[in-house]
A and B are shown apart, each in its own frame.
Chain A
Amino acid sequence: MPIIINLDVMMARRKMSLNELSDKVGITISNLSILKTGKAKAIRIETLEAICKALDCQPGDILEYQ
Chain B
Amino acid sequence: MKKIRSLQILVYLVFGSFVLRAVAIGALQGLKEGYGDALSMNDDSFRQGTAINTVINGNYLTNTPNGELKIGDKYILENVRIMGDMRVNHNKVDTPYIAVALKWILILGITIMAGMVAYNINRVIKKISDGSMFDRDCIKLINNVGALLTFLSLADYAYQQLSYLEQSQLIQAPLRVINTTAFDYSSFICAIVAFIIAEAFKQGARLKEEQSLVI
Give A residues with C-beta under 8 Å from B: 27, 31-32, 34-35, 39-44, 47
Q: Which 3 A-B residue pairs are closest in the complex by CB-CB distance? A: A41-B213, A42-B214, A35-B215
Contacts of A42 in B (CB 8 A): 213-215
The A/B interface has a contact count, at CB < 8 Å, of: 21
Contacts of A39 in B (CB 8 A): 213
Shortest C-beta distance, B71 to chain A (Å), equals 75
Shortest C-beta distance, B154 to chain A (Å), equals 43
Closest B residue to A5 by CB, please name it: B215
Tell whether B43 is near chain A: CB-to-CB under 8 Å: no
Shortest C-beta distance, A31 to chain B (Å), equals 5
Chain B residues 178-215 with CB under 8 Å of chain A are 210, 213-215
Shortest C-beta distance, A23 to chain B (Å), equals 16
Shortest C-beta distance, B5 to chain A (Å), equals 35
Most B Cβ at <10 Å: residue of A32, A39, A41, A47: A41
Closest A residue to B210 by CB, please name it: A41
Contacts of B214 in A (CB 8 A): 40-44
